[in-house]
Structure 1
């Protein structure tokens, strides 16, 4: 699977704050099928969309 990263958020957000989820929800409201995944290596949440080969996915 290839994916395009739209935005990165540090995992250390204040308790009760979900900036990655809020960002992804806003993108979904605009019609982009964004999801949130955890990048354990960088300890960050990534907002991604599935990419196609021609999109130059990550």
Structure 2
């Protein structure tokens, strides 16, 4: 499955702060299928959505 990254957030945020989850929740409220995944190599959280058929090649 291909995904498009909407935003990335550093993994070392303040305790109790979940900006990636909050951003994803706001996008879900807009009707997007946003989810949060961890990029271990870069130590960041990524907010991603499934890539649409018309987005291929971008």
Q: TM-score, normalised by structure 2?
A: 0.91
Q: 1:34 to 1:2 in 2, by over 3 A?
A: same
For residues 9 and 50 of structure 1, do their structure 2 counterparts lie closer, same or farther at Cα, with a shift above 3 Å needed?
same
Aligned residues: 58
Residue ranges of structure 1 left out of the alignment (5+ in a row): none
Deviating beyond 3 angstroms after TM superposition, the runs of 4 or more aligned structure 1 residues are none
In the alignment, which residue of structure 2 is the partner of 1:26? 26
In 2, Cα distance between the equivalents of 1:57 and 1:26? 27
Structure 2 residues not aligned, in runs of 5+: none
1:36 aligned partner = 36
- 1:17 deviates by 0.2
CA RMSD of aligned residues (A): 1.7
Instruction: Look up the match of 1:49.
Output: 49
**Aligned counterpart, 2:9:** 9
TM-score (norm 1): 0.91
Report the Cα offset of residue 56 of structure 1.
Answer: 3.3
